Structure 1
Amino acid sequence: MQSVNSAASQALRSFADTLWCEQRAMGGVLPDEEADVPETYRFCCPPVVHFGNLQQEYQAARSGAVLFDFSDRTQIEITGQDRQPFLHNFCTNNIKRLECGESCEAFVTSAKGRILAHIFAFVGADSLWIETTPGRAEALLAHLDRYIIRADVQLYDRTGDYGELFFTGPETVRKLAAINLLPKALDVHQHSTIQRATPWLAVRRVDLLGQPGVFLVTTRAQLGAVWKELIAAGAYPGGAAAFHACRIEAGFPLYGLDLSDDNLAQEAARTETAISFTKGCYLGQEPIARIDTLGHVNRKLCALRLTSKPVPGLGDVVLSEQGREVGVITSSALVPGEDRPIALGLLRTSHTGPATEVRVRIGDIQIGASVCCSGRA
Structure 2
Amino acid sequence: MPDQCAQLSWTASPWTTWIEITGPSHLRFVQGLCSNDVVALEVGQGCEAFIPTVQGKILAHGYLWKSSDRIEFMGLGNQAPDLMAHLQKYALIEDVEVTDQGDHSKAILVWGEGLIVCLQTLLGGEAVMGSLTQGNVAWEGHSLRLSFPTALNVDAVEIRGEQAEAFAAQLSQRGAAEVGVDAFDQARIAHRFPCHGIDITAEHLAQEANRDDQAISFKKGCYLGQETIARIDALGHVNKKLVAVQLPCEVSHLPQPITVEGKEIGQITSAANLDGKFVGLAMIRRSHNAPGTRIESELGTIEVI
Query: What is the TM-score normalised by the length of structure 1?
Result: 0.75
- Provide the residue aligned with 2:254 in structure 1: 314
- Note if 1:146 corresponds to 2:89: yes
Residue 199 (structure 1) aligned to one of 136, 139, 142: 142
- Provide the residue aligned with 1:246 in structure 2: 187
SS of the residue corresponding to residue 209 of structure 1 reads coil
Matches of 1:244 and 1:181 in 2, distance apart? 30
Matches of 1:198 and 1:139 in 2, distance apart? 37
Residues 7-18 of structure 1 mapped to structure 2, 5 A cutoff? none
- Provide the residue aligned with 2:240 in structure 1: 299
- 1:353/1:72 Cα in 2 relative to 1: closer, same or farther (>3 Å)? closer
Does the 8 Å contact 1:100/1:125 carry over to 2? yes
Residue 175 (structure 2) aligned to one of 227, 230, 234: 234
Q: Could you list the runs of 5+ residues in structure 2 that have no partner in the other structure?
A: none
Q: Which amino acid aligns with 1:266?
A: Q
- Note if 1:345 corresponds to 2:282: yes
- 1:150/1:319 Cα in 2 relative to 1: closer, same or farther (>3 Å)? closer
Does the 8 Å contact 1:245/1:342 carry over to 2? no
Matches of 1:182 and 1:255 in 2, distance apart? 35
Q: Which amino acid aligns with 2:255?
A: G
- Note if 1:329 corresponds to 2:268: yes
Matches of 1:346 and 1:302 in 2, distance apart? 6
Q: Could you list the runs of 5+ residues in structure 1 that have no partner in the other structure?
A: 1-59, 373-377
Q: Which moved more, 1:168-177 or 1:273-282?
A: 168-177
Matches of 1:247 and 1:257 in 2, distance apart? 13
- Provide the residue aligned with 1:370 in structure 2: 303
Matches of 1:111 and 1:185 in 2, distance apart? 36
Matches of 2:118 and 2:228 in 1, distance apart? 44
The alignment-based identity, stated in percent, is 32
Does the 8 Å contact 1:267/1:301 carry over to 2? yes
- Provide the residue aligned with 2:223 in structure 1: 282
Residues 255-274 of structure 1 mapped to structure 2, 5 A cutoff? 255-274=196-215
Matched positions, count: 302
Alpha-carbon offset, residue 114 of structure 1:
0.2
Matches of 1:237 and 1:122 in 2, distance apart? 26
Matches of 1:94 and 1:212 in 2, distance apart? 23
- Provide the residue aligned with 2:164 in structure 1: 223
- 1:136/1:87 Cα in 2 relative to 1: closer, same or farther (>3 Å)? same
Residue 125 (structure 1) aligned to one of 62, 65, 68: 68
Alpha-carbon offset, residue 185 of structure 1:
5.3
Alpha-carbon offset, residue 210 of structure 1:
2.9
